[in-house]
């Protein structure tokens, strides 16, 4: 699964973290890895002396507002986000600006974007798709599942997402999602999720919370990634800040498909 945006963002983060002073030759080398619209904006900002931080969505900043975790991409050219993208850009659903936003996705990321309904901000403080949706491969996704409906229709929203993906021909696996009141860090509930995970080479890192659902999620991930090591990391504190492992990561994709991961399962 390749993403121009994630790859570009990770390359900028890498260069930024290595040195606060840009070496022109190094910057030019990095720019060659970016898609053309991003490359032009990147080099223009360097020439102007504009500081580029590790979390700048620089390839879209001059056009639209896009928050990082709200996007997943497939090498088939499909992309998925939530309708938070519309809210962030003062765009009403169905207005011409919605198609314009999707056109930007195609121009900058080479991806056909589908927008899902987002969870209530009361349940989930981010509104990002990665809190309930995780690609496994080009044919399979993991989507969170509420055991019971809540007053914010979280179960319906996630089930509608799963139904859409099934209708599109995907295999859909489900892991538990739930929320409790209330976070120590803000006016929202704690949204417990396993889809906010990191896939990196031979390893998949998923959250654990010291609850029985951890074992249920582990079995789903072991079935989804039989050739990778599944590592569980206690996320019971960071989840109260409306995010987990994927929220704290930058992806650099291995796109050639040549790696064959080892077949192990672990727990930490």
Q: Is residue 52 part of a domain?
A: no
Q: What's the CA gap between 218 and 225, in Å, rounded?
A: 10
pLDDT for 62 equals: 57
Q: Kind and range of the H or E element at 159?
A: helix 154-167
Mean pLDDT highest for which of 86-90, 122-126, 174-178, 238-242? 174-178
Q: Within a 10 A sphere around the Cβ of 163, how many other Cβ atoms?
A: 12
Q: What is the mean pLDDT of residues 102-113?
A: 83
> Would the pLDDT of 8 be above 60?
no
Q: Is residue 263 part of a domain?
A: no
Q: Is residue 203 part of a domain?
A: yes
Q: Is residue 195 part of a domain?
A: yes
Contact 42, 12 (CB under 8 A): yes
pLDDT for 242 equals: 75
For the chain, the average pLDDT equals: 76
Our count of domains for the chain comes to 1
> Would the pLDDT of 229 be above 90?
yes
Higher pLDDT, 28 or 210: 210
Give the tens place of pLDDT for each residue, 138-197: 999 999 999 999 999 999 999 999 999 999 999 999 999 999 887 666 667 889 999 999
Count the alpha carbons within 13 Å of 184 in the hemisphere toward its beta carbon.
5
Kindly give, in sequence order, each residue whose CB lies less than 8 Å from that of residue 207, ignoring residues fewer than 6 positions away: 192, 193, 194, 196, 197, 232, 233, 234, 235, 239, 244, 245
Q: Is residue 79 part of a domain?
A: yes
Give the tens place of pLDDT for each residue, 37-93: 555 655 665 565 554 443 344 445 456 777 667 888 888 889 999 999 888 888 889
Q: Is residue 171 part of a domain?
A: yes
**What angle (nearest 5°) sits at the alpha carbon of residue 77, between those of residues 76 and 81?**
120
**Residues above pLDDT 70, as percent of the chain:** 66
Residue 213's CATH number: 3.75.10.10
Predicted confidence band of residue 239 (pLDDT cuts 50, 70, 90) = confident
Q: Is residue 265 part of a domain?
A: no
Domain with 245 in it = 10-19+33-43+65-178+190-253
* Beta-sheet strand order (sheet of 72-73): 72-73, 78-82, 112-116
Predicted confidence band of residue 104 (pLDDT cuts 50, 70, 90) = confident
Q: What's the CA gap between 38 and 44, in Å, rounded?
A: 10
Q: Within a 10 A sphere around the Cβ of 149, how many other Cβ atoms?
A: 11
> Would the pLDDT of 268 be above 70?
no
């Amino acid at each position: 699964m390749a993403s121009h945006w994630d790859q570009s963002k990770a390359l900028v983060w890498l260069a930024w973290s290595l040195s606060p002073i840009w070496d022109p030759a190094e910057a030019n080398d990095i720019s060659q890895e970016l898609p053309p619209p991003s490359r032009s904006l990147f080099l223009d900002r360097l020439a102007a002396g504009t500081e580029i931080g590790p979390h700048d969505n620089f390839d879209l900043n001059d056009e639209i507002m896009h928050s990082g975790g709200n996007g997943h991409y497939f090498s088939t050219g499909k992309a998925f986000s939530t309708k938070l993208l519309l809210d962030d850009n003062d765009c009403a659903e169905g207005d011409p600006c919605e198609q314009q936003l999707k056109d930007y996705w195609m121009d900058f990321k080479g991806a056909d974007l589908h927008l899902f309904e987002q969870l209530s901000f009361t349940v989930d403080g981010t509104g990002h798709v990665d809190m309930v949706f995780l690609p496994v491969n080009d044919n399979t996704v993991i989507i969170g599942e509420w055991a019971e409906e809540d007053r914010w229709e979280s179960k319906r929203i996630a089930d509608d997402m799963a139904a859409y993906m099934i209708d599109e021909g995907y295999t859909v696996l489900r892991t538990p999602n739930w929320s409790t009141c209330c976070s120590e860090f803000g006016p929202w509930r704690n949204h417990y999720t396993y889809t906010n995970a990191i896939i990196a080479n031979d390893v998949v890192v998923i959250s654990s919370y010291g609850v029985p659902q951890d074992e249920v999620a582990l079995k789903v991930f072991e079935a989804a990634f039989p050739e990778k090591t599944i590592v569980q990391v206690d996320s019971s504190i960071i989840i109260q800040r409306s995010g987990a492992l994927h929220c704290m990561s930058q992806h650099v994709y291995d796109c050639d498909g040549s790696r064959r991961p080892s077949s192990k399962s672990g727990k930490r």
